[in-house]
């Protein structure tokens, strides 16, 4: 029988970058442009098959608004992976993502897998963050970088597939 893994994954990033939309795309394959800003955090699960194992993601979609920031450690504690999201059309959100990567590398688990997701790639004609800048930052910090669009679904399944592949199977 196939090996079954449970991975806790947390989404972090500024309010409005599209964390909830990414999770809804991955879990429900839907996109709604007028979704409400998350309060506290939302919990969802999704199961995917790799070649020889099955991975069940237990996903904490955190709230990006500043007033919830102090709650974040409750959600990333014990997480095997974090998806740090910024918006490709919001330079300030890239600075926010860097702060989250820093915090995770200081206070997260020692072998936590960090995915950096540049979301809203469907708007890349008005992008504010260079692909090369993000790739270089990810390389320097040991993260992996992917561009996604919750709206069109581009990159979303690949993001979670990559996370599942990179988490150590212990
Ligand atoms: P908080 O819950 O406040 O932390 O925000 P969030 O990061 O969960 O953002 P949310 O998923 O609520 O998305 C904010 C808005 O961005 C949505 O209402 C969408 O209109 C828009 N959005 C999200 N993802 C995309 C995307 O891939 N492309 C485009 N064009 N818009 C997106
Ligand atoms: Mg949200």
Q: What is the pLDDT of residues 75-92, one digit of tens each?
A: 999 999 999 999 999 999
Q: Give, for ligand 1, the residue of 10, 18, 68 to mutate: max count of ligand atoms closer than 8 Å to Cβ.
A: 18
Is a pLDDT exceeding 90 seen at residue 40? Answer: yes
Give the pLDDT band of residue 104 (cuts 50, 70, 90): very high
What are the backbone dihedrals phi and psi of residue 144, each rounded to the nearest 5 degrees, phi first? -120, 150
So what's the pLDDT on residue 144? 97
Q: Give, for ligand 1, the residue of 20, 39, 60, 97 to mutate: max count of ligand atoms closer than 8 Å to Cβ.
A: 20
Is a pLDDT exceeding 80 seen at residue 1? Answer: no
Both tokens assigned to 89: 């059309």
Closest by CA position to 120, among listed 9, 25, 10, 41: 25
Residues with CB under 6 A from ligand 1: 13, 15-21, 33-35, 37-38, 63-65, 119-120, 122-123, 149-151
So what's the pLDDT on residue 2? 85
Count the Cβ atoms, other than its own, within 10 Å of residue 132.
Answer: 8
So what's the pLDDT on residue 52? 92
């Amino acid at each position: 029988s196939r090996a079954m893994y449970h991975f806790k994954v947390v989404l972090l990033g500024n309010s409005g970058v599209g964390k909830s939309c990414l999770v809804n795309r991955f879990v429900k394959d839907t996109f709604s442009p007028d979704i409400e800003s998350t309060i506290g955090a939302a919990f969802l699960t999704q199961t995917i098959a790799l070649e020889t194992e099955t991975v069940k993601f237990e996903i904490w979609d955190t709230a990006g608004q500043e007033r919830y920031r102090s709650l974040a450690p409750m959600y990333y504690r014990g997480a095997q992976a974090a998806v740090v999201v910024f918006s490709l059309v919001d330079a300030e959100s890239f600075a926010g993502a860097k702060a989250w990567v820093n915090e995770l590398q200081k206070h997260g688990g020692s072998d936590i897998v960090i995915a950096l997701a540049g979301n809203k790639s469907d708007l890349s004609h008005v992008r504010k963050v260079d692909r090369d800048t993000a790739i270089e930052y990810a390389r320097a910090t040991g993260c992996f970088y992917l561009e996604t669009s919750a709206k069109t679904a581009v990159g979303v399944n690949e993001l979670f597939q990559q996370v599942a592949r990179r988490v150590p199977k212990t």
